[in-house]
Chains A and B, each alone.
Chain A
Amino acid sequence: MTLRARTTIHEKSFSLGGFAPLYSNAANFGITTDEADNYRFPQPTRCIIKRVLAGKYLFTYLKQPSESSSYIVSLRNHIAVVELHNERLFFRMNRLAFFEECLELSTTCNMQVPWLCSESPFIACVTGSGRVGIELEAGGDALDSESQSAAPLKVKLPRLAAWSSDTRLQLEVEPGYLNAALMAEATAVVCHSSLVISSNGDGGRGSWEVPMRALRFLMP
């Protein structure tokens, strides 16, 4: 079963059962957060900077009372649930909704020049066997290169939510001084990939887009 086949995009609230203890972003799950004791640090030394910058440092720890029980995930955004079998998935930290305790967060450093042109060299990834949820505002798609036989898959980089470790991309940027000075977004042409999850939104930055670009210029 391919990674793409093990990926489900949920548009409505769904029941999540049979999970290992889970770390979740409570705000998107509708959990009451009245008591501060509900929070804990998941893997406190993992991806510290990314988690702080993405506002996802604190996660709620969920544990099933019994194996037969399930948990209703009430959605605000669409969520792509990816089931990993000892695989690695790269993702954007601000889109992380939940992940099972058996998975391990980490940060890799990609210093290839084309990638550095428009993205941070530090990429969050999750490794192991278990389920991970990726938030997709305004919907999204889970694609692989095999299903795109006619034309190569193209995704605007800010909309790239998660991708498998075997992904190979070519980056295209629009020429011109204004595009360069304003850090116009690049487009990723997917040459090969087992899974590319793209969102229909660009991360919900909205009016923060320009300040975020300026910040990215200061801190790549």
Chain B
Amino acid sequence: MATENSAGPAATIRARPRRWVRWILAPAAAICLFSLLFPYAALMVAALVIAVGVIAASVGVVVVMRRFVDTNSCEGSVFREWRPSKRAGAWIALRVLAQWAPFGALSIILWWGNGWIIDQAIYLIQSAIVEWCGSIEPESAQLSWTGEWMLRCVFPDVLVDTVKSASSGLSWGMRVLMVLPFIITVLIEIERWLSLALLLWLTVRSLGYFLVRMVVAEQRPKTEVFFDRGNEPRQGVA
């Protein structure tokens, strides 16, 4: 696959196959194909990946926190060098909270607004589903939905039953169309949880930032930052 190109007075560029095809497109295509052929297996794999991911993330957070404490607790580091009195510590905590307050209030307003919009969207979608189903004449034969149990995990039984009875006489295309609002609802529910995670992260991040900034600004003498031993704790301060 390698080709030779001249670029520059005396340089040779050796080209290689485009690896992004192999590294990104091919795995993505394989996952899509697998999901189409074996939807239940794909669901199980996805659930397994999520479960393992949650466990791994929890372990990762513990490891990171432990390393953070170790790095900053050894001789000469900030947790050792900066020891304010109780009164001074309380005063600093109050100042940090006061600095953070506008950002905290803004995040709460944004969080409330986000939840309100999501609730209204879900209400509108579900109302539309029920109304649409009411305009369809159901037939006596009831089809069993392969993904029904998943829908019942998320949505009210009444809603699922209504859609199920209404869609029994419809073509596959129409049934897929009817499932679309469910998918949209799931997506905006995911957005709700992601925004909650972002809110929590921003709260921790902004509080930590204001605290550290204040400590760094006020600390005398300054603690040194070193790089020579990677992640390991430093040994002494000049």
Interface residues of A (CB under 8 A from B): 29-32, 35-41, 44, 60-66, 69-72, 90, 108-117, 123, 163, 165-175, 177, 180-181, 186, 189, 191-192, 217-218, 220
Contacts and interface: CB of A to CB of B under 8 A. Distances in A.
A177 B99 contact: yes
A24 to B, nearest CB: 9
Given A114-B212, A117-B216, A170-B223, A69 B10 contact: yes
B85 interface: no
B19 A112 contact: no
Nearest to B201: A218
Given A44-B23, A111-B67, A191-B238, A71 B225 contact: no
Given A31-B13, A32-B7, A191-B224, A108 B230 contact: yes
B216 A173 contact: yes
A205 B212 CA distance: 25
A137 to B, nearest CB: 22
Contacts, number: 157
B225 to A, nearest CB: 5
B226 interface: yes
Contacts of A170: 222-225
Contact of B216 (A167, A171, A181): A171
B227 interface: yes
Contacts of A30: 8
A47 to B, nearest CB: 15
A39 B218 CA distance: 49
B205 A71 contact: no
B213 A112 contact: no
A173 B217 contact: yes
A82 B11 CA distance: 21
B23 to A, nearest CB: 7
Interface residues of B, number: 49
Contacts of B7: 31-32, 38, 60
Interface string B179-216: 00000000000000000000000100110111011111
A46 to B, nearest CB: 14
A40 B16 contact: yes
Contact of A180 (B214, B227, B234): B214
B227 to A, nearest CB: 5
25 contacts: A30-B8, A38-B5, A38-B15, A41-B19, A62-B13, A65-B10, A65-B12, A71-B11, A109-B230, A110-B225, A111-B231, A114-B78, A114-B222, A114-B225, A165-B228, A166-B228, A168-B225, A168-B226, A168-B238, A170-B223, A172-B222, A175-B214, A180-B213, A186-B216, A191-B238
A218 B202 contact: yes
Interface string B72-87: 1000011100000000
Given A64-B10, A170-B224, 5 more contacts: A37-B3, A38-B7, A61-B15, A65-B11, A111-B231
Contacts of A168: 224-228, 238
B9 interface: yes
Contact of A112 (B11, B13, B209, B225): B225
